[in-house]
Structure 1
Amino acid sequence: MRHTVLSLPAALAGVLLLTACGTEQADGPDARPPASGAPCDGQPSGAPASPPSGDPAELERAGVRITGFGGGSRGCALFEITHAGSEPHTYTVTFDFLSDAGAVLDNTERTVAGVEPGRTVSGRIPLDESMAGPRNVSRIRIAKVRSVPADEAPSTAGPCPPSGLRVHADDGDAAMGLRVVSVHLENCGTRPYSLHGYPDVQLLDEGHEPVDGVRILHDGSSVAGGTGADGPALPLVLEPGERAWAGLVWRNTVQAGTPVNAPYVRVRAKSGADWVTVAPELDLGTTGKLGIGPWKKREEEPQDRPPSSP
């Protein structure tokens, strides 16, 4: 999956039939979608944008909607997002590229940072981002939308946050109902950072409300062994540029009861640290527990080491 950082937002799940497209306006707090009739990528021969047709529930949801779609070698999809919350949010939206028959040919992801309350931003997805090729893409839909408070958004690059720490979660591994996701922490500041123990976590549902009734167990082996998220919690000191990780381990077994899903996890390195909200998509089934591994220093990987001097 390809990831692109823009400035966008909320939830949308819809399929838009191929019609036409317009030139994307610059993103911004008051940005609106391009006027109907503008061609994709500024091509004079581009087809004018047309309003989407179909079930309104599929084309607009939670403040996000598709506003135009155009095919051909310069085809693109246009969308807009209106944030109705009370604080700025960063949105991550996954788009599926579909064939005529509805098969998913490819997908791409947009991260739109810092959407202010009550503001609307617009964006564009060029069809040539699809490995399937723009001429093979006949429909597009939003497969998933996630949003987090802008001041709790995870970070993997760019300016170092005021906390001096970058925190994010990876895509994880899954096998036979076992799930393992790693939370990564980097000291991007200028001073050493001390760790001892386990990250603090809070589970949130799709509406960003706390998820109750799940036991948080220290040591990933309380759920399954062999994940690396086990062993004693040892004191660590991360020098500037050094990294650490901690594992989240769970099973999605479903037996009696109601399955529990927690798309979001608020995590902080230790008591008193800043919270960061990640989206590891915890499908906890009816197990009622999540294992947390201790912080471990991430040693330099061989491929990351600079080449030896001759």
Structure 2
Amino acid sequence: MRRPRTPLPLAAAVFAGLLLLTGCGSDTAPIGAAEEETEKCREAGPPLGEAKDGVRITGTKGLGASTPGCSSGVASVAFEVTSPKKEPYAYTVTFSVTDAAGQAYESTPVAVPSVPGGATVRTSFTATPAQGPDSAGTAGVKIFKVRSVPVDELGSPAGPCPRSGVRVTADQGDAAMGLRAVGVRLENCGTRPYALDGYPRVTPLDEQHRPLTGVRVLRGGAEISTGLGTTSPRRLSLAPGEAARSSLMWRNTHEGFGKAANGPYVRLVAKPGASPVMLIPELDLGTTGKLGVAAWEKERR
């Protein structure tokens, strides 16, 4: 799948830290002349009905090539999320947007902050792929990827400090020549010192949030690549406002006929007794079955 020419944030970040395409609600306000003209240039499309991992497209508007006299078509996509879980989950949905030239683009992930267990939440977004010189509007939209995290395990990169007193987030990651590295940051946003000692506990999970089988979680990155994850474990005390960093390291190497170990999630516990946080590093471990975890190290200011 081809990506837009303008760089977009990736899903390895935590949910609320992404640049989002804002959900449009169901209420409508009076429209002016410009909006009326825009409406004339759009044609309502029938519900597509496509479903994937609890997400279903319920309707579209503005699909197809541009109408003569109108600017490039912009599609509005209505969709719903139904959670089969018992507890509330936060969702991000990534769409595949196809322009009139037949080129497909991955949309910025759309966040649905909380879906109660067994409930359905309806929302919409505007599909806006980068418009190339050979494209003319949005011709089609499909569900590309769905990710979900228990609301109680969100990393909370913004907003009020969690009850735990710390925020745990992951960066966008770095990939080169099959080597992967995703940084993990823990910030003490509370009012008391926060102690760390050694390595975070990490459990890789599959798309159904079940532990990945056949994966070894290693302390340090020596078995992944020379020079990675070499920080020696030590006791740390983070004052309010201070932060510590770790990292997840692996190789996307395929050897022989072994089964690839892939899973989007990890459940991370910063120290014994700490509340778990679910991150989305999009693990593609190949057939190596190895995931390296670096020791906590105080962030330099």
What TM-score do you get using the length of structure 2 for normalisation? Answer: 0.81
2:203 is paired with a residue whose SS is strand
Aligned to 2:182: 181
Deviations 1:236-287 (A, max 9, x none): 1111111111111111111131111121100011010000001111111111
Q: Report the Cα offset of residue 6 of structure 1.
A: 6.3
Shift of 1:62: 2.6
Q: Residue 92 of structure 2 aligns with which residue?
A: 92
Q: How far apart in 1 are the matches of 2:151 and 2:21?
A: 13
Q: What letter matches 1:183 in structure 2?
A: V
Note the 1:25-174 alignment, pairs <5 A. 25=26, 43-44=35-36, 46=39, 47=42, 49-53=44-48, 59-71=50-62, 75-105=75-105, 107-127=107-127, 129-132=128-131, 136-174=137-175
CA distance in 1, matches of 2:100, 2:252: 34
Aligned to 1:20: none
CA contact (8 A) 2:53 2:146 kept: no
How many pairs does the alignment contain? 267
The aligned counterpart of 1:286 is 287
Partner of 2:20: 4
**Alpha-carbon distance, 1:135 to partner:** 5.1
5+ long unaligned stretches in structure 1: 8-22, 27-33, 301-310
Deviation readout 1:110-141 (Å, 9 max, x if unpaired): 121121012211122123x4443895322222
1:198 matched residue in structure 2: 199
Taking only aligned residues, the RMSD between alpha carbons, in angstroms, comes to 2.5
Counterpart in the other structure of 2:266: 265
8 Å CA contact 1:24, 1:78 repeated in 2: no
Give ranges in structure 2 of 5+ residues lacking alignment.
Answer: 1-7, 10-18, 63-71
- Judge conservation of contact 2:184–2:246 (CA < 8 Å) in 1: yes
> Separation in 1 of the partners of 2:287 and 2:85?
31
By how many angstroms is 1:207 displaced? 1.1
The one-letter amino acid paired with 2:47 is P
Contact 2:78 2:123 (C-alpha < 8 Å) held by counterparts? yes
User: TM-score of the superposition, structure 1-length normalised?
Assistant: 0.78
Q: Matched residues, percent identical?
A: 45
Residue of structure 2 equivalent to 1:297: 298
Q: 1:106 to 1:93 in 2, by over 3 A?
A: closer
**8 Å contact from structure 1 (residues 5, 112) kept in 2:** no
Residue 121 of structure 1: SS of its match in structure 2? strand
Q: Which runs of 4+ in 1 moved over 3 A?
A: 42-45, 47-50, 72-75
Deviations 1:17-70 (A, max 9, x none): xxxxxx7416xxxxxxx9xxxx9xx945635643234xx6xx112321111222
